[in-house]
């Protein structure tokens, strides 16, 4: 197990001291947490510390940020007065369940016997097949649902969460099997609209990559047998098309651990793409999935490949029925399914 405290190192010395005291006090469920500074600090600084601490440590899921306050005595000594969502006993109960589930998953998915890429892939696939996006997780009339959905409890207790809960649970599971992973926050961009969002950056063989399990869960939908890998280990260039981070993050340039690169189905040249399609046809595959890069990612490539598959099958005397196509054109990912 590794402890990956990326955001702690983005704080100044005073904020780091407060972070440490706040973390230690919260883990002990203290009602008043003395902090080792005498000068006042701003609300902006407190919010930065709180976000750093909870992103670095997703097991702190029991703190109510909006109800936390600070106080000082006549000698100028400062303290944080936290409010907890759950009692100390309830937190211990939840923690036992979370630890049990993480250990069971590590064994079931054979994570300890895998390399870092395989660990990430198996964790990603488990989320896509077993976790649902909680569309009611922002309903303020269901406070317990909101709390769970935005934290790891949503995943580990209910198998349903929103992006923040999913990203934090991904970090917990990968960190538990010695893969460096951080939670990234910011906005997702769809149809020109910015929506608060959370995802991950994961380290594979010393290189950071962007990973959005939530969006792959949403695209996978109800068909849990066919997992989507659109947002599995992207570069900043690709991720920044529809994601905007709200803080400084590790620079992600490598393509090596991208899912389509690893599978050998990412192409810049048409003849190599068609040779790959020929191999799938020879195997009587029903799903054709590939990534087209650069000039190959033109608007007609999906139809061109679909027509080629149909013509090839007909020439071989085979019927294919209906053809369904889908794509994430911004990322160059195309899927053709024979029904």
Task: For 189-204, write each residue's pLDDT tens digit.
Answer: 887 889 999 999 999 9
Q: Does residue 1 belong to any structural domain of this protein?
A: no
242 & 103 share domain: yes
Cα gap 208→272, rounded to integer Å: 28
pLDDT band for position 108 (50/70/90)?
very high
Q: Is the pLDDT of residue 98 over 70?
A: yes
105 & 168 share domain: yes
Cα gap 67→190, rounded to integer Å: 32
**Any idea which of 73-77, 122-126, 302-306 has the lowest mean pLDDT?**
73-77
| Residue 210 CB coordination number (10 Å) | 25
Q: Which CATH number belongs to the domain containing residue 317 in this structure?
A: 3.30.1370
- 80 in Cβ contact with 33 (< 8 Å): yes
Counted domains in the chain: 3
166 & 25 share domain: no
pLDDT at 68: 87
67 & 179 share domain: no
Which range of 131-140, 143-152, 162-171, 315-324 scores highest in mean pLDDT? It is 162-171
Q: Identify the domain boundary among 35, 64, 81.
A: 81
Q: Does residue 116 belong to any structural domain of this protein?
A: yes
Q: Identify the domain boundary among 233, 254, 275.
A: 254
Q: Which CATH number belongs to the domain containing residue 185 in this structure?
A: 3.10.620
Return the higher-pLDDT residue of 223 and 260. 260
| Residue 30 CB coordination number (10 Å) | 18
Q: Is the pTM of this model over 0.85?
A: yes
127 & 157 share domain: yes
| 3-class secondary structure, 49 | helix
Q: Does residue 259 belong to any structural domain of this protein?
A: no
Average pLDDT of the segment spanning 210-228:
85
Q: Is the pLDDT of residue 23 over 80?
A: yes
pLDDT at 162: 96
Name the DSSP class of 67: G
Q: Does residue 217 belong to any structural domain of this protein?
A: yes
Q: Does residue 2 belong to any structural domain of this protein?
A: no
- 323 in Cβ contact with 306 (< 8 Å): yes
pLDDT band for position 141 (50/70/90)?
low
22 & 98 share domain: no
75 & 92 share domain: no
Q: Is the pLDDT of residue 115 over 80?
A: yes
238 & 134 share domain: yes
14 & 110 share domain: no
Query: Structural domain of residue 109, as residue ranges?
Result: 88-254
For 251-261, write each residue's pLDDT tens digit.
999 999 999 99
Q: Identify the domain boundary among 46, 62, 81.
A: 81
279 & 179 share domain: no
Q: Is the pLDDT of residue 84 over 70?
A: yes
| Residue 308 CB coordination number (10 Å) | 17
Average pLDDT of the segment spanning 42-50:
91
Q: Does residue 19 belong to any structural domain of this protein?
A: yes
pLDDT at 147: 87
Helices 163-176 and 213-220 pack at an angle, to 10 degrees, of: 110
Q: Is the pLDDT of residue 66 over 90?
A: no
pLDDT at 119: 98
212 & 194 share domain: yes
95 & 198 share domain: yes
| Residue 294 CB coordination number (10 Å) | 10
The sign one gets for the Cα dihedral 126, 128, 132, 138 is: positive
pLDDT at 73: 74
């Amino acid at each position: 197990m590794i402890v990956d405290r990326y955001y702690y190192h983005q704080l100044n010395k005073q904020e780091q001291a407060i972070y440490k005291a706040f973390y230690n006090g919260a883990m002990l469920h203290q009602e008043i947490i003395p902090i080792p500074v005498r000068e006042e600090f701003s609300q902006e600084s407190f919010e930065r510390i709180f976000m750093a601490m909870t992103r670095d440590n997703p097991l702190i899921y029991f703190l109510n940020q909006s109800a936390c306050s600070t106080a000082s005595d006549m000698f100028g000594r400062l303290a944080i007065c936290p409010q907890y969502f759950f009692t100390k006993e309830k937190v211990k109960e939840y923690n036992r369940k979370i630890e049990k589930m993480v250990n069971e998953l590590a064994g079931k998915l054979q994570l300890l016997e895998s390399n870092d890429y395989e660990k990430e892939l198996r964790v990603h696939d488990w989320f896509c097949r077993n976790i649902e996006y909680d569309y009611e997780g922002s309903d303020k009339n269901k406070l317990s649902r909101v709390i769970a959905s935005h934290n790891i409890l949503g995943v580990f207790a209910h198998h349903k969460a929103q992006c923040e809960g999913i990203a934090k649970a991904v970090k917990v599971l990968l960190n538990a099997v010695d893969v460096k992973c951080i939670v990234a926050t910011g906005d997702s961009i769809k149809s020109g609209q910015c929506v608060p969002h959370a995802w991950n950056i994961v380290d594979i063989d010393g290189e950071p990559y962007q990973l959005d399990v939530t969006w792959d869960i949403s695209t996978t939908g109800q068909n849990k047998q066919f997992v989507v890998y659109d947002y599995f280990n992207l570069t900043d260039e690709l991720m920044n098309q529809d994601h905007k981070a709200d803080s400084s993050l590790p620079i992600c340039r490598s393509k090596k651990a991208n899912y389509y690169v690893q599978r050998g189905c990412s192409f810049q040249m048409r003849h190599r793409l068609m040779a790959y399609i020929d191999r799938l046809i020879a195997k009587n595959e029903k799903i054709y999935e590939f990534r087209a890069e650069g000039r190959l990612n033109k608007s007609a490539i999906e139809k061109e490949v679909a027509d080629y598959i149909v013509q090839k099958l007909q020439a071989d005397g085979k019927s294919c029925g209906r053809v369904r196509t889908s794509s994430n054109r911004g990322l160059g990912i195309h899927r053709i399914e024979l029904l």
